Structure 1
């Protein structure tokens, strides 16, 4: 679904702080999508920008109350509306760092699952696109179908009731009017 020119990969020298080998391999060989979409953007909107969480925020312990001590070494690789996404460099887990809440949460079990979720959203887009036929009324079914596929890939990602993934699924049913 993502063409090679829509994926950003990273050279090995930019990934030396990431101990999780599968994440390093994924970032080097597959990459992260950076096409224009409402769900995900790169930090500062620019490709090739990986920053340590501790370099992005000086108030980590104040901003989020449940951050593990080593979270300052996590790598911020993108954002989902208003929230940063960070890779735990040891486990490979993807965490959401909400802008409007004091606690982080597991967003996806790993980078491949995260990118797979983006793929499912792109693949299902004909069923919920903003240019959709207003006579069509099965947007809820489109959201349920995508959610079921997401649960097959990474069921824990949808366990947190306030996850941004639930906001994305809600958007499919009732898109916000800009």
Structure 2
């Protein structure tokens, strides 16, 4: 049990590292919290600094979700512990201790957690996001659709109720963090991918 607690703390601290903010600082770009939607995530970094910075941000956010989960699994802590460690990393991204507990919406980090728990589920979530993005050209709608289905994908592929319940909590938090986007979607005001407007 002490090992699980240490892994959960480590997951939270790793998740608290804001890839978006650090990438923009290192590349001399505007702080993503002051650009577009104000969200420190890959989509907003794309607006602030272009594709290169956005790719680095996406990779970093994915990595900090996957690494703690893989560490827990490699240390044979079990699927429940691995899910909790992933949840801690996700919460670190949402509420980072290093940045005044004001973080991003958690989509990429949650996807990293899914990949760590089950790569096939990660592919399914990614494919859902991509398919919806190609149809709608709206990043938030793509993320919401993907994570609406993520708990089901994980349950079908792992048959683990604890993992599925953990992902349901993460999905609920993703929906909560996207509440402004959801309002915009209902009135047709949500920006499409590639546009400069915040959302």
Class of the TM-score when normalised by the shorter of the 2 chains? 0.3 to 0.5
TM-score normalized with structure 2 length:
0.31
Kindly indicate which of the two structures has a greater share of residues assigned to strand. Answer: 1
TM-score normalized with structure 1 length:
0.34
Kindly indicate which of the two structures has a greater share of residues assigned to helix. Answer: 2
